[in-house]
Amino acid sequence: MIRRVSDDRPYHHGNLRTALLAAAERGLRERGADELALRDLAREIGVSHAAPRRHFPTRQALLDALAEDGFARLDSVLLTALEGTGGTAAHVRAVMTAYVRFATENAALADLMYTSKHRPGAERLLEAAAAPFGRMRELVLRGQSEGVLRGGDPDRLGMVLIATLQGLASMVNSAIAEPEQLGDLLETAFAQFVL
Amino acid sequence: MIRRVSDDRPYHHGNLRTALLAAAERGLRERGADELALRDLAREIGVSHAAPRRHFPTRQALLDALAEDGFARLDSVLLTALEGTGGTAAHVRAVMTAYVRFATENAALADLMYTSKHRPGAERLLEAAAAPFGRMRELVLRGQSEGVLRGGDPDRLGMVLIATLQGLASMVNSAIAEPEQLGDLLETAFAQFVL
DNA sequence: ACTACATTGTAGTCGCTGTCTACTTTGTAG
DNA sequence: CTACAAAGTAGACAGCGACTACAATGTAGT
């Protein structure tokens, strides 16, 4: 059992991919995507500068993985919101609040999730996004069948709903709208969707 | 009248700031913000690598200027849409279409305009954004007074409207929604705002 | 238990970038 | 005409992403 440099860390990290994602997520939250450097993460974790390459062949691959994970986290946040008490209308309100809360508390992550980079091979991201979008679609279907939501193609309505929420989060994140307005803005949006 | 290196370009460019912005805008459209390098732009224009610094002290300053210009261009696009024929409802529809068209044809620019980078000194950007937002607010006021738009605080309603449009553009730009759906999505959104 | 091989780490290098500093050329106001 | 401000150049530096060659470790097959 030979140990490396300072005789404390094993040659193989064992969980480098996970460690990288965790460190990257923290860096993303605290300093933004532009400040994320693979070499910084490697130093922070204590591996060589080239080690991350085994798990993320390129910096963009790491950012994509972050975005993918972001959609999974968003999905679980929405799921939690749907577990609350109250009727469908209350659920809609809860989900709306939860979405915007998530997207404003993780502003840089939200940017990554909806970035418009030239990305030909982003199937993984789209699959990850399908989870929260599907969940929202189900809620819309339920709302329509109960008559609390406007009719029409549930896919379209769900998409417009998420778009509105993500747009509102963007306004706050870019400092165009003030965070204090968020409650009122959400209420205005809510009134448009719920009959 | 001494000339420089290849005896063709004068020592002073004369319009370097404008030239940089133009080249950057093209690069932004064709290759995305990540690929924008100050040194590339300098080479393309034919000045030294340090010359851009006189006009944009940092790369981020150039990106901010691009975003600022983006809001000005957006405002003029909206203005054009408002000059069309038809009543207020038609104007609302035209503005909605124009917004989403602008934000999808200039996807990377839209990202810059609504980015959530830690930006303490972004007053310039906010001032630039005030133009299109103010224009939208006027339209909302007109729509409300004519009874074609839902009531409530016009600032809030205008903000929700732009948020919805920007959100829809984000969905398309990130390939979550397909461009072909845009028409239907816009119609769904339109039906929510116009009584 | 041994051994071949895939996996996952290390070290070093390369070109490129953004930023900074010192210097030079040009425009311009007094 | 002359001093100074404005706007360019050249060179240096550290840091980064990406690539390569090599080393250590886990593991599957005999």
- The class of domain A58-193 in CATH terms is mainly alpha
pLDDT (average), residues B133-137 = 97
Q: In this structure, how many other beta carbons lie within 10 angstroms of the beta carbon of residue B84?
A: 12
Q: Write out chain B residues lying below 8 Å of A151, CB-based.
A: none
pLDDT at residue A2, rounded to an integer: 35
Residue A3 has pLDDT above 60, yes or no: no
**Structural domain B11-57, CATH architecture:** Orthogonal Bundle (1.10)
Tell me how far apart the alpha carbons of residues A155 and A133 are, in angstroms, rounded to a whole number: 9
pLDDT at residue A185, rounded to an integer: 98
Residue B1 has pLDDT above 50, yes or no: no
pLDDT (average), residues B107-119 = 93
A190 alpha-carbon distance from chain centroid: 22
Residue A121 has pLDDT above 80, yes or no: no
Look up residue B113 and give its two tokens. 């305009």
Q: For the segment B27-41, what is each residue's pLDDT rounded down to a tens digit?
A: 999 999 999 999 999
User: Cα distance from B122 to chain A (closest Cα, Å)?
Assistant: 9
Domain ranges for chain B = 11-57, 63-123+131-193
Helix and strand tally (H, E) in chain B? 8, 0
Q: Give yes or no for CB of B13 within 7 Å of strand D.
A: yes
- The class of domain B63-123+131-193 in CATH terms is mainly alpha
Q: Are A79 and A139 in contact (CB under 8 A)?
A: no
Residue A59 has pLDDT above 50, yes or no: yes
Is B114 within 8 Å of A164 when comparing Cβ atoms? Answer: no
CATH number of A13-57: 1.10.10
**Which residue of B114, B123, B124 is the best one to mutate when testing the A interface, meaning the one whose CB has the most A CBs within 10 A?**
B114
List, as one string, the DSSP characters of A146-193. TTSB--S-HHHHHHHHHHHHHHHHHHHHTTSS-GGGHHHHHHHHHHHH
Tell me how far apart the alpha carbons of residues B130 and B149 are, in angstroms, rounded to a whole number: 22
